[in-house]
Each structure stands twice: as C-alpha cells, then as structure tokens.
Structure 1
C-alpha cells in the first residue's frame, strides 16, 4: 500500500510538472521546458502591430475628413455628412441590421418599408450631426449660438439658483457634442463625464474641442472626486445614460424592453442633493438645432434606497424615450442598447 501511495503521489507530481511545462515554466528537475504553443507570443505581437497600424490609419483618415469638412461651407458640409451616412449604411451591414432590428422592436413590424426608411435616415442624420460636431473646433461661440435655439432654459437657471449644482441627464440624441458646446457658450459652468476614446490622439482632438467653449472634461470612472467638487461649487455635471456600458446600473423599461441603465447620476443626486435635469437636442429640417430643457427630477424621499434609485432612473429613461420618439431618426439605433439582459432571479441594488 505504501508503494502504491508513493506511486500515486509521484504520478500527481509528474502531472503537475507537465502542466507547469505546458505553460512554459521550469519544473523542480533540471529538464528542458516545453512550450506547447511556440508561436503564441509571435501571434500576440503581430496582433499588437496590426491594431497599432489599424488605429493609425483610422486616425489619419479622421484627420483628412476633418480637413475636408472644415474647408466646406456648412450647407455643403451637411450634405457631405449625409453622404458619409449613406456610405456607412451600405458598407456596414451589421450596424444596418442592428438599426432595423431595434427600430422594429421599438415601433412594431407593421410597416416594414417605413422601418427601413427610418433606419436609412438615422444614418443620414448621424452623418450630418457628426459633421456639425467636427466643425465645432473652428467655430466661435457666436457661431454656435447662431445655429442653436433653446426652450426651457428657465428650468436650468432655477436649478442652479439652489446652489447644489445640477446633474444633467441626456442621451446620444441629435448632436450631443453641440449641446455641450451651446451650454458652455452661453456661460454656464459645464462639466461633461465621458469615457476616454480608444485612441489617445482622437481623444485629445475631442477634449480640445470641448475645452474650446469652456467645457471641462471629466473621465468616467477616474474623476469621481472632481465630479463631487464641481457640484459643490454649484456647477453643471452632464451624463449620457442611454448606452449599454460596463458601469453600475439597473434594468428599467426602455421602448418596452428592460435596458441596463447607469445609476450613477441618480446615486450622485441622492448623495449631494443636486437635482436631475433632463436635456436633449435635435436638428430640424432647416438645419438649426433645437435644445429642450425639461423640469427637474427630484429623487423621492419615500421607499427603500433601491426603490428610489429605480424610480428616478426609470423617470429619466422615460423622458429620453419621449425625446427619441419625437425625433426617431436622431438616435443611435445601431448601438446594442439591449445587449445586457437580466439574469434569472438576480437581485439588483
């Protein structure tokens, strides 16, 4: 029996050693290491090189497009942007199918022709709005104010008078970059919370454009203290809450389906006492942009913490849904908004 146990122990040690060798590690004995995947390191290196080259090409293409757009008049630039949107519609089949599927789920399948028309117009509008966003870097504050009209600014003024700051909740509707530029151009103390772009060079271009009008850029997940300090100074902090991202969130109804929605703005409002203010922007047929400011949402004082978070997040989501329903072609339907799904029996906090 003793010999058998020793044999079993030796077998386990041998297997353990083989597993170590399989990972390219050195065993206790002075045997040569074995790498079962000798080309894995080379493949990883080539993937890094390919990614770097791809990002550089994308960056150069973006720079060229920026130069072309800035050389055009606004009217021609908008047509150019719509053309880019049409090109994207026909050359990006996955995003096109995603757009059509999301529109069908949101508005029904009764009129397939209308759904496809809306999907194509969504690409048109995204291209045109992107062009207006690109042109911001070369625009003055006066030029920004000339192409935007607003209603409901009295709600923003009243919220700021309370002295606790304001938490703006919005979405990827219309030209959200122009919305930030407009608020800052009017002299409001604005901070926007956003994630960094994957390419630092593109991120610098975007941040520089925002800062041109006085907007302060805060990085999601990194600048929590700066966010709180901005509210304590009585400033505006803006969030976009209509994307399925890897942040703390809960599932609330959005176009009839449960959508994972960030709870950060509501939790922040509960901690600081700052009101939640829904704002959105859309581009009209005459080319002007229209900003709409709704009344403040105050987090309720009754119910559990979870109920307060859920109810306030759901109200914000419903208001965004109303904005989108009024201007359905100006939202990013190509985004996988309902990708994350509730788990069976999962509890949310």
Structure 2
C-alpha cells in the first residue's frame, strides 16, 4: 500500500519524493527517444545503473541461490543483468502509449487456452486468467481488449505515494476496470466475475496469511483465492503469460490449458508448477527481484489462512 505522506517521517518523505523525481526524470528522458531505442535504453539504465544502486542484484542473486543453486556462475552473472533489463523495458512500455499498444495488440496467442476462453465467453461462463510477473504481463490486457474480451484486473499499489499516482494512471490507460488490492477492490472484482466477466490475477507474490505451497521446490506462501473463486463460481482458471521475443520489443502470449477443478491447494500448486516450467525456459523474464520466498519460511506457515472469498 502507498504510504500517506502525512504519516511519514521527514526523512522517509524526502526519500520517496526524491526517488520519484529520479524515476520521473528517467522516464521523461526515455520518452524523448524513438520507441525502438527507448525500450532497450531504459532496460540498460535499470540493469546497469539502478539495479546495483538499489540492491536489486543482491535480491536476484539470493533468490537464484535458493531456487536454482545448480546454475553456473556465468548464467547467474547473465541473469543479474538480464532480469533488471526486462524490468526496465516493462516499466517504460507502460508509459509509452500507442507504440506499446500496437505491439501488444499484434502479439499472437498460442496454446489451447484461447479456444477455452472463447467457448466460455459464448456460454456466458466467467473466466479467471491467472498470470505472473513475467515478460510484460500487461500485454495480455491490451491484447484481449483488442480481441473483444474486456477484462478486469486486480493491482497492488506502489509504496511510494508520488510514484504510485502516475504509475496507476499509466496502467489504467491500457484498459479498465482495474481494482486496487484490498477488501473493496476484491468485492468489486468478485461482482464482475459473478456477472460472467473475465478477471486477471497475478499469482506469484508472497501473500501474508496464505497457504504454504512450493515454487521451485521451496516453500512459498501463496494466495489460493483465485482457485477458491473458480470453484465457487464455476469459472475457468486459465494460465496466461506474455513471453518477450528475442528482439526485445515484440511479444507472444501463451494461454495454457485450463486448470482442472479439484481443491484450492491442488489447483494453485498446479498454477505454480505451470509457471515454474515456463520460467525454466525463460529464466531472464521472471521478476526474480520479488521477495517470493520470505526469510522466515524455514519456520513453516505463519498463523492464519486465506479468508473465504466475499459473497
């Protein structure tokens, strides 16, 4: 959640404010470049300047040491540069307007999930698209809107209140409705789903009070709400991911087969396994910057479980 500036110390307020100025300056400078140079330029800046200064390389290295201790040193060194590069490209794409939308809408969709989605829409059946912070995940919203499949999405606000203001405006410009993570946002999202709509949820973040499942063979506390909603409202649960192509500018969307209905833990674990298989094929495109595995995980599941989805 973004902090209320009035509740911050003078030092914290100044830190957030200056960080936002720096980010806005980088974004503004990058937007002066033609799109085909802008995207790789921002990738280079985040990879070579921001990541070392912000400690992102250490986060990536620590996550890789936990999840992929088998990686040779040269591959780790490559990922320390490539993961922030993808993050930088994704960030500037959010702010790039029509040039980004044109490429996102042109992305082909592969896999059996598209036929399943279209069949569900013809039947008026609700659909939950389950995704992750991989490639540029907002491509799927732009693409499916363009194909006539309007969808809603749940998003997590940035902690920096000044950066959050323009960041959320940028992602909402790609397509709405979007709901802020929280009780009110969840209620609005569920209402949309109950009416036979399509929603998209990213399922690769640590969630306090979630269930202890596994990801890359390590305990990972995760929300099972997507699976609970799919069961409660007889919605299809379709994994969908955006794969950045070798030229660094174009995309392909993979829509995998729907997850079979069973129980929330089994279904969510199937989502984890599906994403893990994709990440292993494209290690540089998942956001290894996230704190997916918390330091206390060796102690087991924290008290509390995920709440039942709202009516």
Q: TM-score, normalised by structure 2?
A: 0.85
- After TM superposition, list the pairs within 5 Å mapping 1:310-325 onto structure 2: 310-325=265-280
Distance 2:300 2:174 in 1: 46
Contact 2:104 2:140 in 1 (8 A): no
Segments of 5+ residues of structure 1 without an aligned counterpart are 1-44, 301-307
Distance 2:302 2:172 in 1: 42
- Give, in angstroms, the shift of residue 166 of structure 1: 0.8
- For 1:126-205, list aligned pairs within 5 A: 126-135=87-96, 137-139=97-99, 141-146=101-106, 148-152=107-111, 153-205=114-166
Q: 1:101 to 1:141 in 2, by over 3 A?
A: closer
Q: Alignment partner of 1:242: what SS?
A: coil
Please give the secondary structure, in 2, of the residue aligned with 1:239: strand
Q: Give the Cα–Cα distance (whole angstroms) in 2 for the partners of residues 335 and 174 of structure 1.
A: 14
1:333 has 2:288 as partner: yes
- 1:277 partnered with 2:232: no
Q: Which of these two proteins has the greater Rg computed from alpha carbons?
A: 1
State the shift of 1:345 in Å: 8.6
Distance verdict in 2 for CA 1:249–1:161, change over 3 Å: farther
What does 1:1-80 correspond to in 2, within 5 Å?
48-80=9-41
Aligned to 1:103: 64
Give the aligned partner of residue 10 of structure 1: none
In structure 2, the residue matched to 1:214 is: 175
Who is 2:259 aligned against?
Answer: 297
Cα-Cα RMSD: 2.5
Measured after TM superposition, the shift of residue 264 of structure 1 is: 1.2
Distance 1:187 1:57, change over 3 A: farther
The alpha carbon displacement at 1:265 in A equals 0.6
| CA displacement, residues 142-165 of structure 1 (integer Å, 9 cap, x when unaligned) | 45323x222132232123333231
- Contact (CA 8 Å) 1:251, 1:342: kept in 2 or not? no
> How many Å separate the matches in 2 of 1:338 and 1:140?
32
Give 1:109 shift. 3.4
2:76 to 99, 115, 135: 115
Normalization by structure 1: what TM-score?
A: 0.76
Structure 1 residues 86, 348: closer, same or farther in 2, change over 3 A? Answer: same
Please report how far the alpha carbon of residue 106 of structure 1 lies from its aligned counterpart in structure 2 after TM superposition.
Answer: 2.5
Question: Which runs of 5 or more residues in structure 2 are unaligned?
Answer: 1-5, 306-311
Match of 2:197 among 223, 235, 246: 235
Say which structure, 1 or 2, has more relative contact order (CA 8 Å, 6+ apart): 2
Give 3-state SS (helix, strand or coil) of 2:297's partner: coil
- Deviation by residue 1:175-199 (Cα, 9 ceiling, x = unmatched): 1123322222333121111222224
Q: Secondary structure at the match of 1:57?
A: helix
Aligned length: 294
